[in-house]
Structures are given as C-alpha cells and as structure tokens.
Structure 1
Amino acid sequence: MPTNSLIPSSTHSTNTGTPTPPATLGSGDASPTSTGEPKREVVHSSGSPRLQTLNEYGDDDFQNADYWDMDDNEIRYNAAGTTDLALNEGSLGGVNGTIFASPPSGQPTLQECAQIDNNAWSSLATASQLRAGSSFCVRSSEGRHGKLVVTKLSMCEKFLESEKDRERFAGDICVLEVSFLVWE
C-alpha cells in the first residue's frame, strides 16, 4: 500500500539552467542490450513551470497556474485530462495517477527511478518536503518516469503584500517553481 508521505532528498541541486529541449528517438534501440547496459535516457519533455495558488494580493483569480501536464509540458486550468501536477496550499499532488518517490541518489536517473519499489511511491509531496533543491522521481499520468527538482518555494507569509493576508495564509504555499524532465 503506497504511503502518503515522502522522505525528502538531502540533495542541494544548483542546476537552475534551462532544461534540455525535447529529443526524439532515432533509429537506435532504447531498450537494454544483451550486455546489461541500462536503458538510454531519451527525453520526452522537459520544462520549468511556475505553479501558483494565490497572487501577491491573496486572491485566487482562477488564472493561476496550479495544474501542469508534464508529458505535454503545458499549463492546465483544471485536473481533468492528462494533468500530472496540482499545487494546493499545503502540498504538490500527483493527479490522474502521477506519483512521486525520493530518489536513491541526488541526481535521479531513469534506471534508478524505474527500480524504485512500488511501496515507496506517493501521490503527495507536502510543503515541508518541497525545499529548494529537493529532488523527486516521478511517474507521470501516461506512465513515463521522470525527475523533478524544486527550484523555488514561496510560502504565503513571505510572498503576500498585506499583513492581514500573510497572517491568514501562514503556512500555505503561494508559489512553487520546479524543473522537470520526463523520459520516453
């Protein structure tokens, strides 16, 4: 039975550069060879979305990017369809079967993510686990493995302009910036 929490990675990634653009599979075989070589890490999609639950005035104007489809690298305004990520005030959730796991190493690889035990996956990463530099393996709504790195987290009490709003939304996530890569 999957758990509802993750053990945060102790990784402190400094890779905040532009993600590798999507690549296509050539005529080569991406499956393991007879010599036991690992699967080639062919990129399906990558991106650096900024997810937001409230604007700087404490309003949810329903135009905030709080859903993201990792397979298509597109913003979504609801959880229907192939959405993978949903940000709410207390966590980053997997939608439509998307799940997260802590990687065995600081820089997750396709091989490492594919070998994680089913019991280690969760559909939720809480605010306390979403520190800048935290890394996660991800299995998307379309069944692809990927990696996700938190690049920035703004809690509402530091993000909002109004003192009253900062008190009202203390402990809530307002902005989460991530960088992700999904393999074929």
Structure 2
Amino acid sequence: MRMSPAARTRMRDTEKVIRHYYNDMGKDKGNCTWGAGILAHRGVCSEEELARKVSDNEVNKEFDKRVGQAESNVRRGVDRTALTQDQFDALVSLTFNAGCGNARDVYVLANKGDFAGAAKLISGMTSVQINKGGKKKYVVAPGLVKRRAEESAPFQSDSDNERAEK
C-alpha cells in the first residue's frame, strides 16, 4: 500500500511549509524542525540552525522522502492484519509526525485487530516534551489534538462512531 494522493495532500496542507529551521513549540521550546514539519533533531535549534533557510525544492524532496519512510515503516510494522486505505493513511500520518518508535505500540494493537485500542492510543498521543527552567515537562500540543482525532477516526468501530454521533 501507498498513502493515497488525497491523504498526502491533506497532510501536506496540515504541515505548513516554513522555509527555515524553527522550534516547533515556540521560542526555545520543543524540537528543531524545518520545512513541512520535518524533524531536524530532538531539542531546540542552535542559533546557526535558526538562521538556516531552506528552498521549496529541499522541502519537497525531504517531505517525499520522509513520507516514503513512514509508508515503509507502516508496511513493516503492521504485517498481520489487513488495513483499509484510510487506516493505512492515518498510520502514515501518525508515523510521519510522531516517528516509528512512538507509533510502534499502535502497530502492535493493529496487528492484534484491536482497532478500538489503537484509536484510543492514537487519540492520547497529544503531549510533547519541552524543557522549562532546565527541567523536562510534558505539555499538550493543541495542534496535535485535532490531528490525532483525525488519525484515530478510521480505527473506531461503527458502534463507537454511532455513540459519538448521539
């Protein structure tokens, strides 16, 4: 399977293109990121990195590369159960954003056919680690709440969806 063109476009639209390196949680917080939500490394950017500009070509090339890596990770990680296209797309989005290591427990649940458990786990993946006053702290990233709701939706059972509509 490959990520559907519609899901890829949605994800690209969600990941705003910023043509320089930046800290994803604001000044001196979060992780060093660039382009279309591309993680440069964990921890804040150095002053040199913050000054680094990137071109549209660099962003497009790296985005395509990272989506391909996320697709490969999902195909390897979920190999015991069939996924719908929407489920596969959601896991690629999750893996692109959170990383394969952080998505691994979701893969385990999907392989067991525990889609409700996978949905619940994805929905809860909204916190990020920041350093505040020299101490590590986890905070909810508001942008992740909506994203995780969208990523978890394909794994919710019909009865869960019916309950949510009531």
TM-score if structure 2 supplies the norm length? Answer: 0.28
TM-score if structure 1 supplies the norm length? Answer: 0.26
Higher relative contact order (CA 8 A, sep 6+): 1
More strand by share: 1
More helix by share: 2
